[in-house]
Chain A
Amino acid sequence: MITFTILYAFLIISVLFNALGVIGLHRFPDVYTRLHAATKCTTFGTIFMTFAVIVYSGYMYYWNPGQDHYLNMALHTVGALVAILVTNPTGAHAIARAAHKVGIKPKFAVIDELEKKEAK
């Protein structure tokens, strides 16, 4: 019972942060701040979603010891978690760098040291 409480808590957190990511995607003014909302809240939400899957499959494997596919699912989810943690920041960095290279200025920026460096 407590397992399913934890599981639902993970799912609620993940859906909440994914929803906040979508709201931020619409509210923020330019590409960089939108990247914050889109990648960050989605990462956090997705991490908790994988946690929920791991908890669920570990619980099912504990109570059904013969059924190996639950263990398999948990391990593959750990692999997916590692892949998300490596690829998500790399992709965000690539988009931000490309945007700055083609000359999109950050809106409402109080400081832009990268532009100062490129101007030199």
Chain B
Amino acid sequence: MKRSKAFISTFLFALFVYLFMTLAAGQSMVEGTILWSIEELVLGISVALIVGAVASSILCRSDDYRMLNPVRWIIMLVYTIPLFIEMVKANFDVAYRVITGDIKPGIVKITPDLKTDLGVTFLANSITLTPGTLTVDVDDEKSELYIHWINVGDEPTQTISGRFVPWIRRFAE
């Protein structure tokens, strides 16, 4: 039972990727058929079956299936909006620093207090994607992130992660 859940979720994910990549590819949209031709659907399902059988033990290593909840995926999509706003703001800041050369670099430590691996991964990637901050190292045990900050000023270090953490907590924990 446990393995079958892993198999089904891996199968559906592989099928989704296959159908997404072959949507409207080449001769698929023949008159009167759905978005994919029958041959393509058969091939996609068989490839996804093989992928599900082989990769389910690697992709679904933990027994935690909270990410199967579609609400979390919707929140994850909504999260791209504040992430993008932060990226725009920080990009102009870094562009200013590139031109003037006015930098005060340093490695600071933040404790985001996220419990899951997925949450820490998302936070580290969001911080690195935002210009001016770069995750250098992660302490797994104490859940500390070491961040290279291009402008270490008087602002507290929590301003780096402050905008992201509540959002990530909403979908990853």
* Cα A71 to Cα B125 with chains together (Å): 29
B135 neighbours in A (Cβ, 8 Å) = 89, 93, 96
Which residues 18-45 in A have Cβ within 8 Å of B in the complex? 20-21, 23-24, 27-28, 30, 32-33, 35-37, 39-41, 43-44
> Are B129 and A106 in contact (CB-based, < 8 A)?
no
Residue B132 CB within 8 A of the other chain: yes
B139 neighbours in A (Cβ, 8 Å) = 117
Residue B29 CB within 8 A of the other chain: yes
> Are B94 and A68 in contact (CB-based, < 8 A)?
no
Seen from chain B, the residues whose Cβ lies within 8 Å of a Cβ on chain A are 20-21, 23-26, 28-29, 87, 90-91, 94-95, 97-99, 101, 103-109, 124-126, 128-132, 134-137, 139, 146, 148, 150, 152
* Cα A69 to Cα B22 with chains together (Å): 11
Given contacts A20-B99, A111-B108, 6 further A-B contacts (CB under 8 A): A20-B98, A33-B150, A106-B107, A111-B107, A113-B109, A117-B139
Seen from chain A, the residues whose Cβ lies within 8 Å of a Cβ on chain B are 17, 20-21, 23-24, 27-28, 30, 32-33, 35-37, 39-41, 43-44, 68-69, 71-72, 75-76, 79, 85-86, 88-90, 92-93, 96-97, 100, 106-115, 117
User: How many Å from the CB of B98 to the closest CB on chain A?
Assistant: 4
> Are A71 and B131 in contact (CB-based, < 8 A)?
no
Q: Which residue of B lies closest to A108 (CB)?
A: B105
* A–B Cβ pairs within 8 angstroms, 20 of them: A20-B98, A33-B105, A35-B134, A37-B94, A40-B90, A41-B91, A41-B95, A43-B129, A69-B26, A86-B125, A88-B128, A89-B126, A89-B135, A106-B106, A108-B105, A109-B105, A110-B152, A111-B107, A114-B109, A114-B146
Q: Which residue of B lies closest to A105 (CB)?
A: B107
* Cα A83 to Cα B155 with chains together (Å): 33
> Are B134 and A115 in contact (CB-based, < 8 A)?
no
**Across the A-B interface, the 4 shortest Cβ-Cβ residue pairs:** A89-B128, A40-B131, A24-B98, A111-B106
* Cα A108 to Cα B150 with chains together (Å): 11
B28 neighbours in A (Cβ, 8 Å) = 68
B91 neighbours in A (Cβ, 8 Å) = 17, 40-41, 44
Given contacts A33-B150, A72-B24, A114-B146, whether A89 and B129 have CB atoms under 8 Å apart is yes
User: How many Å from the CB of B4 to the closest CB on chain A?
Assistant: 28
B150 neighbours in A (Cβ, 8 Å) = 33, 36
